[in-house]
Chain A
Amino acid sequence: MQVACLLIFDPPVAAVLRVEPELRGRPLGIVDGTSIVAGWLRGSTLAQALTVEPELAVRPLSLEAVESAHAALFDVALSVSPRVHDAGLGRVFIDLAGTESLFPTGRSVRTALEARLAKVGLAGTRIGLGPTRTVALLAARHRGGGHEIARGQVADFLAPLPLDLLEPPDELEDRLSRWGIHTLGQLAQLPRAALGARLGAPGTQLARLARGEDLTPFEPASPRMRHEESASFEPALGQLEPLAFALRTVLDALCQRLSVRGLAVHELWVELELEDRRTYARRIAVGAPTLEVSVLTTLVRLVLEQAPPDAPVERLRVVASPGRVEPAQLDLFAPPLPAPAELAVTVARLEALCGPENVGAPLVEDSHRPEAVRMVPFGTRRSPLSSEPRQPPEGALLALRALRPPWRVRVNEVEGIPRKVELPRTRELRVAQHAGPWRLFGEWWGDRCFARDYFDVELADGGLYRLYHNLEGDTWFVDGIYD
């Protein structure tokens, strides 16, 4: 078994560089309170650090950003193999068994991992390959990483490595140092029983690590189906434009993470923490899974514009539900349809313009009630059944223009047959010709029972109307005009 180790040397710094890549190469200190906890001049106070290095870029410690960076690292690992051991912040191991057909050599694995790490903003992450997790970790830690150790080379590789690469407890390291033990090779040669008698379990475990053995079995972690990115703002953002800019950065990071795993954004959950401690949350459905940041930004922006947060925003959190991008099979004879992502933006724009309840595909409900129609979300996915072109009938059929709500009209009737109809805002009109009645009666099992006598009438104004007599209330309505 060959194992790859991905190691972020300084997770808080990597988390900042992931969001602000322009800081790469510049002195950067991560500050928690008044002291620098990571990066340059670690351990000093902020004032001391700025005195020593006036050009020092200082960023606050964000545990969420560190966790996001670790999640991105995990995603990269999962893009290579489904067996990934999560060893804590900034450290994952990949079981490369079975990936030989994809990555025949260690170099090809490293190249692929480096490209994907750069894609998710984690360039500089150390990579090490070895037969065990311990060897892979040491290969990643030693001299900037990038080492590939075969099973037969383990002893030669480990022997000259300094003891502190194993990060032993200070007391143990001092004691071994007093014995003249400074390298892993020297420690590995000590007799196990004698070492255990003198140093106890920590000593024997350290000796096993020095021989390249793992102390625990490989535990594959289950892949995350929830992808989250966040950003905090100090001071809080009070306007939509800078928020949209930050949103784009966050969505870009999210999309890069998903892309390395071959996934796309299917649904977004946007959560804003406002200055007054309230939370603003919106769910945004994406028409078809996409990785186009501009499309997603537009969708979120349209939602925010429609109902903007009423207080400055301190923190932005975006959670994506992943989906698979479905390949579109183009047809030689069928015309190309708009791209699903673009269509989703158009529908979102139309919803923002006219209201979401006024945009959709018409749907005839399974009911005998003629007015039983509604709107459903519009989608263009070609189903195998609907891909067959449906030829419209030859000739032209009458169409009905629906009146919503139906006009309530006064009708002069003789033995149930309408003779004159008074339409809204008109005088009474004679019925020139009529057809009917035919009765519609249904839904007697529920509250919406209806019983109507329908007529098609031609009135003296030349209009052709569909008229019905509501038998329950003895009222007359016009619910459509033939056109």
Chain B
Amino acid sequence: MLQQIGLAGRVHMVAEGAEVAEVAEVAEGAVSAPQAQVLEQPPEPRLRSRGSLEELDRLLAHALLAHAERAGSRGIGAIRGIRIQDARGQLIEIGGAPSSGRTALAQRMSAQVTARGELVGWVDTANALDPRSLARAGANVQRVLWVRSDQFKQALRAVELLQKAGFALVVLDLGGIEPRLLQRLGQAPWARFQRMARTRGASVLVLSRDLHPLGQCWSGACAALGLVLQKQRACFDAGLFEGFETRARVVRQRGGGDGDAFALQLRQRLQKH
């Protein structure tokens, strides 16, 4: 059984590309003692070891608060304790192959936004949004405006309209867009999204399927945060699919921090404590 790392405790990770090591301090009943012994590995010093959803939230909150920081509305000390749901107004890109966990993170963020009563726009170029998953993630689907369009220009225009209307989060799922179209796009639309995000306070979350040839974000320097996810290990246990582990690598972070990585576990169901 997978254990939610964010709640369980500290994670140690091994060298890049290798399998994610397991939890050092685990919650009660999460991993049996012999299993924990086998899995425990020495930490890889190059990677940040505080891997978890908390780490992701910290990163997202940091990215989203960058604007507020510059505006002087919050002290630097506020960042450490801030939660993702308190921050808004930046462009974030999460890339990765199918089954890397991008959609789960976007749905989680949507759930946090709808939980505080705000609206989410989901521009879906692949017609891939599963409302059941979205609802399971905790999102109030009545507060999600689903816009389907397989035309790239239409999708970009839809994002702008949603930002202008005051949606707190606009998710742009580029799953249905060919990489060649993304390559031709240039930086202008991303810069526009970023500018609008700042002025309107509407965050944009871009989910990209294919990686940029240079291994960066498609949105380049416009993104406050760029993450690339890579699936590490699926967990099938006792005939059940429990979830999988994924590794998030920071490819772009305003203010530094590129190359940081941390592990995440995405689960089929949450354990009751």
Contacts and interface: CB of A to CB of B under 8 A. Distances in A.
Contacts of B55: none
A370 interface: yes
B167 interface: yes
B234 A433 contact: yes
A481 B96 CA distance: 13
A37 to B, nearest CB: 50
A401 B134 CA distance: 10
A483 B102 contact: yes
B240 interface: yes
B157 A335 contact: no
Contacts of A399: 101, 103-104, 106-107, 130, 133-134, 137, 266
Interface stretch (A42-50, A89-97, A109-117, A361-369): A361-369
11 contacts: A359-B147, A360-B145, A361-B146, A380-B143, A382-B117, A396-B53, A397-B136, A397-B270, A402-B127, A404-B127, A456-B236
Contacts of B136: 397
Contacts of A382: 117
A380 B121 CA distance: 12
B116 interface: yes
B111 A392 contact: yes
B119 A464 contact: no
B266 A397 contact: yes
A235 interface: no
Contact of A353 (B116, B129, B149): B149
A482 B130 contact: no
A462 interface: yes
Interface string B94-114: 000111111111111001101
B126 interface: yes
Contacts of A370: 132
Given A432-B234, A483-B99, 13 more contacts: A337-B117, A338-B119, A353-B157, A358-B149, A359-B147, A361-B141, A378-B145, A382-B117, A392-B138, A401-B130, A404-B128, A480-B130, A483-B102
Given A390-B140, A400-B130, A353 B154 contact: yes
B15 interface: no
A380 B4 contact: no
Contacts of B104: 396-399, 483
Interface stretch (A21-29, A182-190, A244-252, A344-352): A344-352
B267 A397 contact: yes
Contact of A401 (B103, B143, B244): B103
Contact of A363 (B99, B137, B141, B164): B141
A124 interface: no
A463 interface: yes
Contacts of A481: 98-99
Contacts, number: 203
B111 to A, nearest CB: 3
Given A347-B145, A456-B241, A463 B108 contact: no
A400 B133 CA distance: 6
A482 B103 CA distance: 9
Nearest to B236: A433
A334 B268 contact: no
Interface residues of A, number: 59
Q: Is the interface of B mostly helix, strand, loop or mixed?
A: mixed
Interface in A149-208: none
A402 B127 CA distance: 7
Contacts of A392: 108, 111-112, 115, 137-139
Interface residues of B, number: 75
Interface string B64-78: 000000000000000
B148 interface: yes
B244 A464 contact: yes
A373 B116 CA distance: 25
Nearest to B132: A364
Contacts of A343: 165
B43 interface: no
Contacts of B265: 396
A5 B6 CA distance: 75
Given A375-B146, A397-B269, A482 B99 contact: yes
Nearest to A375: B146
Given A402-B128, A481-B98, A483-B100, A395 B267 contact: yes
A391 B115 contact: yes
Nearest to A403: B128
A57 interface: no
Interface in B138-189: 138-149, 151, 154, 157-158, 161-162, 164-168, 175
Contacts of B140: 386, 390
B149 A435 contact: no
Contact of A361 (B101, B108, B145): B145
A364 B7 CA distance: 30
A294 B162 CA distance: 19
